[in-house]
Amino acid sequence: MALDSASQNQRRSDAPEVVVARLPQYVRILTRLLQEGAEVVSSQQLGEKLQVTPAQIRKDLSYFGRFGKQGRGYSVIHLLERLKLILGLNSFWNVAVVGVGRLGRAILSYPGFTPDGFHIVAAFDSNPDVVGETIAGLTVSSLEELDEVVSSKKISIAIVAVPTEHTQGVVDRLVACGVRAVLNYAPISPQVREGVRVRNIDPVLSLQSMTYYLTDHPVD
Amino acid sequence: MALDSASQNQRRSDAPEVVVARLPQYVRILTRLLQEGAEVVSSQQLGEKLQVTPAQIRKDLSYFGRFGKQGRGYSVIHLLERLKLILGLNSFWNVAVVGVGRLGRAILSYPGFTPDGFHIVAAFDSNPDVVGETIAGLTVSSLEELDEVVSSKKISIAIVAVPTEHTQGVVDRLVACGVRAVLNYAPISPQVREGVRVRNIDPVLSLQSMTYYLTDHPVD
DNA sequence: CCGCATTCGTACTAATTTTCACAAATACCT
DNA sequence: AGGTATTTGTGAAAATTAGTACGAATGCGG
Ligand SMILES: NC(=O)c1ccc[n+]([C@@H]2O[C@H](COP(=O)([O-])OP(=O)(O)OC[C@H]3O[C@@H](n4cnc5c(N)ncnc54)[C@H](O)[C@@H]3O)[C@@H](O)[C@H]2O)c1
Ligand SMILES: NC(=O)c1ccc[n+]([C@@H]2O[C@H](COP(=O)([O-])OP(=O)(O)OC[C@H]3O[C@@H](n4cnc5c(N)ncnc54)[C@H](O)[C@@H]3O)[C@@H](O)[C@H]2O)c1
């Protein structure tokens, strides 16, 4: 008794969502450390880079197993590998972008998704003038092809950048096609059935949560 | 004794940051309700729209005062007014955009900032080919003019969309000019001195925090 | 005008999240 | 090899955040 399967198993169920949300940051720092040639890193050093306490890092990791060595720290390459596995980043996810407007184009030409585990393999727009256009090597498809392409390309993640009023409808269609995670840029929070994940990116809310702390008056 | 200044004062100090971060969402819903002609709203109704418990809404609001009426609810227009005042959204904040690339252009032409309290009044880029260009009615300035423009236009908020490696430098310059809040789009977290606020927008981290829950395997 | 249905504001309780602190393990120095 | 300095992993404590539940108002219907 005592030493059971915890260390070789991911224990997916019982890690709090806040903890899971911090893991990608650990992955990012570790990736950088690996590139810089670091072989080991302590929770202390990691904490300094991330501005969190070393205890929090150790506690977070302990939800998933035991990855460190006392007196030494963590093997950068090994911990990175394990975290990617836990997050499902050991191979690539195919992603669709829906809405090829100003923002959608910036997203399509952003090179930062690929090194971090995401391949943008399809783009959709409802505007016939946009359909057929090629951006960053990808030809924009029409919405009619959505179901077919999502299935054939095994797309389970979508980035949605369409006008607010079309967002819920687009998300509904995507979910019906089998998409299980949505990154939404419109200033609403689309409703989805249980089991589908949504993250919203909303610069206005971010700005408004800062002005509270700007004690002097805004310009008038 | 007993009934003191709490209700007519904002009590800025003691509201937890999580609570402050929810207020902009309340503002957004209330704005919509006002447009729809609603006069009063209960914490119950608000909670349904926001997917939070009515108790949380009442608790959150109670950090700042007493805005409701028993048996009736909250006056939409009155509560909205008060929340905007608390968040410093009663008048406009002038904002600068630094980095007029693909993303910066999308931001400059996004009409969603103005109705919510932010005027983009300046844009800066280091590329001489971009300086002088006019986007969405705004002419791009060179970085030499940064200090002068930030002062003269009373800019205290900046949106930064420059390449990762230039981000920390740009943020440092902005802070030196007097900017006190930064919305950063690069995949790092710029370090700033105490008193300056930063929010990061990082779609990759958002995606990576969802893949954990996508139990079936990514494409390989 | 009275009773009943609402709904707030908040004291209290519960749950969650973070931090502390220490035994156990490891590395390193002499 | 022995001693000292590190550093992990984790129970326990502390702090934060969320939820319950109820008294006190308020409005409404008859
Ligand atoms: N531009 C920004 O910086 C910015 C910032 C914050 C939020 N947003 C939000 O992002 C979304 C897109 O913004 P944008 O500036 O790119 O707008 P845009 O108008 O430039 O582009 C929207 C695109 O979506 C397409 N579209 C419309 N309905 C569609 C549908 N049903 N299915 C597929 N495609 C459809 C349009 O043809 C167009 O190409 C909006 O919701 C906006 O509020 C944008
Ligand atoms: N495009 C996206 O969808 C996207 C998504 C996520 C993150 N980002 C991040 O946003 C930032 C901008 O992305 P982009 O796609 O617009 O890049 P981009 O290369 O198209 O634009 C960057 C702009 O910044 C300017 N610039 C460079 N150094 C500068 C400096 N020191 N001061 C002022 N301006 C400077 C450049 O001249 C250029 O115009 C990057 O950090 C990128 O990682 C972009």
Task: Report residue B100 CA to chain centroid gap.
Answer: 20
Of 1.10.238.10, 3.30.450.20, 3.40.50.1970, 1.10.10.10, the CATH number of B5-87 is 1.10.10.10
How confident is the model at residue A14, as a pLDDT?
A: 84
How confident is the model at residue A8, as a pLDDT?
A: 35
Hey, which residues 121-150 in chain B have their CB within 8 Å of chain A? none
Rounded to the nearest 10 degrees, what angle do helices A43-50 and A54-62 cross at?
A: 110
- Beta-bridge mates of residue B123: B97, B140
Cβ partners under 8 Å of residue B178, min gap 6: B150, B151, B155, B156
- Cα distance between residue B208 and residue A89, in whole Å: 8
Picking from A92, A197, A208, the nearest residue to B210 by CB comes out as A197
Domain A5-87 and domain A93-205, same fold? Reply is no
How confident is the model at residue A87, as a pLDDT?
A: 98
DSSP secondary structure of chain A? ----GGGGS---TTS-HHHHHHHHHHHHHHHHHHHTT--EE-HHHHHHHHTS-HHHHHHHHHTT---EETTTEEEHHHHHHHHHHHHT-SSPEEEEEE--SHHHHHHHT-TTSGGGTEEEEEEE-S-TTTTT-EETTEEEEPGGGHHHHHHHTTEEEEEE-S-HHHHHHHHHHHHHHT--EEEE-SSS-----TT-EEEE--HHHHHHHHHTT--SPPP-
How confident is the model at residue A215, as a pLDDT?
A: 76
Picking from B51, B87, B208, the nearest residue to A89 by CB comes out as B208
Domain ranges of chain B: 5-87, 93-205
- Cα distance between residue A138 and residue A149, in whole Å: 13
How confident is the model at residue A189, as a pLDDT?
A: 98
- Cα distance between residue B42 and residue B71, in whole Å: 9
CB contacts < 8 A (A, B): 196
Q: With a 6 A CB cut-off, is A159 part of the ligand 1 pocket?
A: no
Nucleotide nearest to A19 (CA to C1'): C17
Residues of chain A with pLDDT under 50: 1-11
- Cα distance between residue B105 and residue B161, in whole Å: 10
Please state the three-class secondary structure of B168-206 as a single string.
HHHHHHHHHHCCCEEEECCCCCCCCCCCCEEEECCHHHH
* CB-strand contact B113/C, under 7 Å: no
Instruction: Look at chain B and count its residues.
Output: 220
Residue B70 Cα distances to B40, B67, B79, angstroms: 12, 10, 14
Q: Could you tell me the mean pLDDT of each successive run of 10 residues in chain B, 220 residues long?
A: 36 84 98 97 97 98 97 98 97 98 98 98 98 98 98 98 98 98 98 97 98 75
Of 3.30.930.10, 3.50.50.60, 3.40.50.720, 3.90.1150.10, the CATH number of B93-205 is 3.40.50.720
Q: Cβ contact (<8 Å) for B197 and A213? A: yes
Unique residue bearing structure tokens 């000019």: B177
What does the CA dihedral B88, B94, B99, B103 come to, rounded to 10 degrees? 60
- Cα distance between residue A203 and residue B185, in whole Å: 10
How confident is the model at residue A218, as a pLDDT?
A: 62
- Cα distance between residue A28 and residue A21, in whole Å: 12
What predicted TM-score, i.e. pTM, was given to this entire model? 0.95
How confident is the model at residue B217, as a pLDDT?
A: 54
pLDDT in tens, A68-122: 999 999 999 999 999 999 999 999 999 999 999 999 999 999 999 999 999 999 9
Structure tokens at A51: 């501005």
Structure tokens at B128: 């001489």
Residue B38 Cα distances to A122, A213, B13, B116, B174, angstroms: 42, 30, 32, 19, 42
